[in-house]
Structure 1
Amino acid sequence: MSSSKITAITELDKSNYRTKIYSGGHFIYADEPESLGGTDEGMSPGALLLASLGSCTAITIRMYADRKEIALDSVKIELAICKEDQITKETTISRKIEFIGNLTSEQLERLEQIADKCPIHKLLSNPIKIITS
């Protein structure tokens, strides 16, 4: 694969849904809870999706705040989505952002706007095409 793309490799053997994920020299597990037959040794795929959106949002906000020298001490993002077996094309992700710092109302408003500029938010807000080979 081209180095200009973000890539990931997933591998699943007979380990009861515990999936190895490799990307950019990093390694994590995805899994399902024991109640669904998994080993609960990693986040569910849905939780990983929320983690991608949350971390991308936080990083985008931090980059902007640093560049504009905004006194943002920290940002906390809580996300939720329905269970994976209930996902439809109308599925909604709820995202609550808490900004901590000595911020003006104008800065808070701008940081909320910047949150929607994160690449994962843009990706999830548009039609996605998946090509399988």
Structure 2
Amino acid sequence: MPIIVQRNTLLPMAQTVQIRTHSFTADNGVDGGGSDAGPSPHDLYDAALASCKALTLTWYASRKGLPLTSVRVECERDASEERHGVYKLTTRLHLVGDLTDAQRHELLAVAEKCPIHKLMSSVKTEITTLLAPA
């Protein structure tokens, strides 16, 4: 099922994003000509990484019986060199639960192997853009 993005004509740049049964707004910030009515494409890219790490850690801890009761992932970007081919993301894991140091380091290693982390860092993405018939 495709992801569908269509302009919200009530705002200067806002787009409605439809993913399966989920719908939300994406927009540029005011400095980018938008209304900041939703996350920007860069925000969504960064959020994909953070949410994948959180979901992966929650799944892994449950599967392994680790006492992880909550996880919060903070993701910060440094896009200052993006035009030169370097886009830096730093994620910080806040792990809650009666975890040993060894378990915390095990979870750190798991977070670094989440599917989106691997996709962003080790997979060549090929993008094809086509025109739909008029």
- TM tier, smaller: 0.7 to 0.9
Aligned mates of 2:8, 2:16 — CA distance in 1: 9
Runs (4+) of structure 1 exceeding 3 A deviation are: none
TM-score by length of 1: 0.86
Contact 2:74/2:91 (8 A) holds in 1: yes
Structure 1 distance, partners of 2:120, 2:31, is 29
Q: Which amino acid aligns with 1:93?
A: L
The counterpart of 1:46, out of the listed 32, 42, 47, is: 42
Residues 80-131 of structure 1: per-residue CA shift (max 9 Å, x gap): 1134x85242221111111111101111111001102221111101222211
1:68 aligns with 2:64: yes
TM-score (norm 2): 0.86
What amino acid maps onto 1:19 in structure 2?
A: Q
Question: Is 1:80 aligned with 2:80?
Answer: no
Structure 2 unpaired stretches of 5+:
none
Aligned twin of 1:57:
53
**Change over 3 Å in CA distance of 1:11–1:108 after alignment to 2:** same
1:116 and 1:11 mapped to 2: Cα distance? 34
Alignment of 1:129 onto 2:129: no
Question: Percent identity of the aligned residues?
Answer: 32
Work out the number of aligned pairs and report it.
127
Alignment of 1:1-133 (within 5 A): 7-12=2-7, 14=9, 15-83=11-79, 86-87=81-82, 88-126=84-122, 127-133=124-130
SS at match of 1:39: coil
